[in-house]
Amino acid sequence: MLQTLPMLHQNKSWMPRLAFAPQNTAPRGDTLVVVFLRGAADVLNMVVPHGEDAYYQLRPSLGIARPDDSKKKKEERAVDLDGFFGLHPNMQPLLDAWQSEQLAIIHACGAPDESRSHFKAMELMERGVDDERGPASGWIGRHLATLNTGNTSPLRAVGMGTRPQKSLTGSVPVSALRSIADFHLGGDQRALQQMRMALSTVYQNDVMGQDTLSIMDTLQTLDPLTYAASRDAKYPDTEFGLALKQTAMLIKAQVGLEVSAIDLGGWDTHFAQGSSTGLMPNLMKDLAEGLAAFHADMFDHQNQLTTVTMSEFGRRASENGSLGTDHGHGSMMMVLGGNVDGGKVHGQWPGMEEGQLIGPGDLAVTTDYRDVLSEILTKRLNNPATDEIFPEYQPVMPNVLR
């Protein structure tokens, strides 16, 4: 068929070569899952510094009670991690991963930008740059562009959502999937069969076409509704849970997934954010239950999987007059996976006393987010080109991986 088409008579000298020659060639490493908490998550109520008196002075209503505070009900108290930090009670699903040392927390972590603007901070963080100058592509995009893993799958990098996250922007094609069904053809069973036949006829001599058809066939059989997770993992019935579940499905289907970017929004809690229950605790529940289910479901793949969470900045140390928190600075990252130096809160704690907070009263940043990402990129994804991924930045390895 191919040979009969008028435009395709020519010899094959024009057939594709690699789009560009990345300087590093290496076998692919872990699958990386990047969870972005959009809106600036209030990390001080997620990983609570219960050993810090100032925390309770600054947050008389919103503060999460100490683990041993007998005046409060157990479900209102922080779950102790190391005697100084504790998890919000709704983050408790992550305790298993913590105890099996596969969850590391890097507190007071973030970016140098002090604009406290969501738009600007998110953009800079996704581009991996210090200020508006510098490359406009995303850090994951540059990771893909600087590492040739020999993987040409259209699902090498996937942004869960209607469009790829800015961090994925770059010269390597990425796919945006609201759901696995986005890699299906539309139409009823009959129409589908007809389209499939037409495609396999016109692509019968084309390797890339055949590969795409076979990924399409694989995905066509996957249905998140009937998917049976391993170890009875229960993903929350939310958009976030669905994105994690589908990431797990893609990894297990072995369709070439190297990076999955997932967003969880709604963290901009200026008003009535809730202490142990309410708006923000519900988000934490979604986050923790989702990550815990993913961790359990992917148990047999833990050695080839790293998950990282990030947010554009943290929130003010003190609560505001409407029982919420305003834009702050220092944030927190979590790294989850089989090669993580887990069960520890990493990073230097800057303290919350007057003189220790910065600007209008915000947690300082003692670990740059790029340090954490650089360590993951070099140690787990086999990409040493951090100078191109984070230009003009010299990472210091925070040793969150083993």
The residues that touch other proteins, with contacts defined as CB under 8 A, are 1-2, 4-8, 10, 14, 16-20, 119, 132-138, 141, 152, 154, 163, 166, 169-173, 175-176, 183, 185-187, 190-191, 193-203, 206, 208-209, 212, 215-216
Q: With respect to other proteins, which residue has the nearer C-beta, 198 or 396?
A: 198
Q: With respect to other proteins, which residue has the nearer C-beta, 199 or 358?
A: 199
CB of 322 to other proteins, least distance (A): 17
In angstroms, the Cα distances linking 303 to 237, 300, 333 are: 27, 8, 20
Q: Is the dihedral of CA 96, 100, 101, 103 positive or negative?
A: negative
CB of 190 to other proteins, least distance (A): 6
Residue with tokens 């066509």: 220
CB of 29 to other proteins, least distance (A): 21
Q: With respect to other proteins, which residue has the nearer C-beta, 51 or 135?
A: 135
Determine the Cα–Cα distance for residues 16 and 325; give it in Å rounded to an integer: 53
Q: With respect to other proteins, which residue has the nearer C-beta, 132 or 300?
A: 132
Q: With respect to other proteins, which residue has the nearer C-beta, 173 or 360?
A: 173
CB of 218 to other proteins, least distance (A): 12
CB of 91 to other proteins, least distance (A): 32
Q: CA 58 from chain center: how many Å?
A: 30
Q: With respect to other proteins, which residue has the nearer C-beta, 55 or 267?
A: 267
CB of 187 to other proteins, least distance (A): 7
Determine the Cα–Cα distance for residues 66 and 85; give it in Å rounded to an integer: 9
